[in-house]
Amino acid sequence: MSRFDFKHFTILQQHAALKVGTDAMLLGSFAYFESNEHLLDIGTGTGVLALMMAQRFQFENITALEIDENALKDASINFQQSPFDSHFQLLKQDFQSFQPKEMVDAIISNPPYFINSQQNTNTSKARARHTESLSYVELINGIERCLSPKGKAWIILPIESREEFSNLIQATTTLAIAQQIIIEGKPGKAVRFIVALVKNKSVVMDEQKFVIRNADNSYTEAYKELTKDFHNKEV
């Protein structure tokens, strides 16, 4: 599919290895920010999360980082055709070396997520999927470097990484998990988890579960309600 039509914008995805999927729809719908001054999107891909955030929060400035040439082509077009007033800055740069001019209050990322698994022969797809291009430690260190004391970072990861990721967050000097959402593909089958990170070690984590599909494979009413502002047609 070379394009994905949202209710208020379109994602062209002719070049990017990874297309719009449920992970982006979930993260873009759950993420919440108190500030709409500056958003940092780590590994923007087609730009889908940046555009979802522009729709929901009317961010003044959005900085999107991406290292893959093919994804950059799509993101550039999608940002140029954006119907939103946000100022988009698309950078070909890895997050490990990124140094913001000032700390940001809002970070979002659907990062590489396969660890110790066979890489895809498609270089772009492998880079987008595998943590070799951005390890969890590098991601966490970068968030700690870039996030302001009052900011929040939202991330989605595979459920298999939950314990490892939580331990890495606990080992940091300042970061803590303020919210954690366990995503179940069907009832009782956890597949992903979403976290909101803050710089407050004393925060008490709020945890909830969310189910995407019913046992008969139809979408739950909760999923329909969550994503209703984005889906161009009824799911």
User: Which residue's structure tokens are 């996030």?
Assistant: 147
pLDDT in tens, 2-58: 888 999 999 988 888 788 889 999 999 999 999 999 999 999 999 999 999 999 999
Give the C-alpha separation, 181 to 141, whole Å.
22
Mean pLDDT to the nearest integer, 105-115: 82
Q: Which residues pair with 210 in a beta bridge?
A: 183
Average pLDDT of the segment spanning 117-140 = 60
Task: Taking the CA atoms of 11, 37, 129 and 180 in sequence, report the sign of the dihedral they define.
Answer: negative
Closest residue by Cα to residue 133 from 151, 152, 115: 115
CA distances from 229 to 9, 30, 34, 60, 182 (A): 11, 12, 19, 20, 22
Residue owning tokens 């759950």: 30
Quick check: 105 and 148 in contact, CB under 8 A?
Answer: yes
- Indicate the domain borders of the chain: 3-226
- Looking up tokens 């984005």 gives 230
Is it the case that residue 72 has pLDDT exceeding 70?
yes
Give pLDDT, residue 43. Answer: 95
Coil vs helix vs strand at 92: strand
- Residues contacting residue 80 through CB under 8 Å, at least 6 positions apart: none
Q: Structure pTM?
A: 0.90
pLDDT per residue as tens digits for the range 195-234: 999 999 999 999 999 999 999 999 999 999 999 999 876 7
**Residue 235 pLDDT grade (very low, low, confident, very high; cuts 50, 70, 90):** low
Give yes or no for a contact between 194 and 183, defined as CB atoms under 8 angstroms apart.
yes
Q: Is 5 helix (H, G, I), strand (E, B) or coil?
A: strand
Q: Tell me the pLDDT band of 115, cut-offs 50, 70 and 90.
A: very low
Question: Given this structure, which CATH class describes domain 3-226?
Answer: alpha beta
What's the whole-number mean pLDDT along residues 63-73?
95
Reported as a single tens digit per residue, the pLDDT across 157-204 is: 999 999 999 999 999 999 999 999 999 999 999 999 999 999 999 999
The answer to whether residue 131 scores a pLDDT higher than 50 is no
Residue 27 CA, chain-centre distance (Å), reads 6
Q: What is the pLDDT of residue 1?
A: 58
Q: Which of 57, 111, 54 is nearest to 81 (CA)?
A: 54
**Which of 96, 107, 63 has its CA nearest to residue 198?**
107
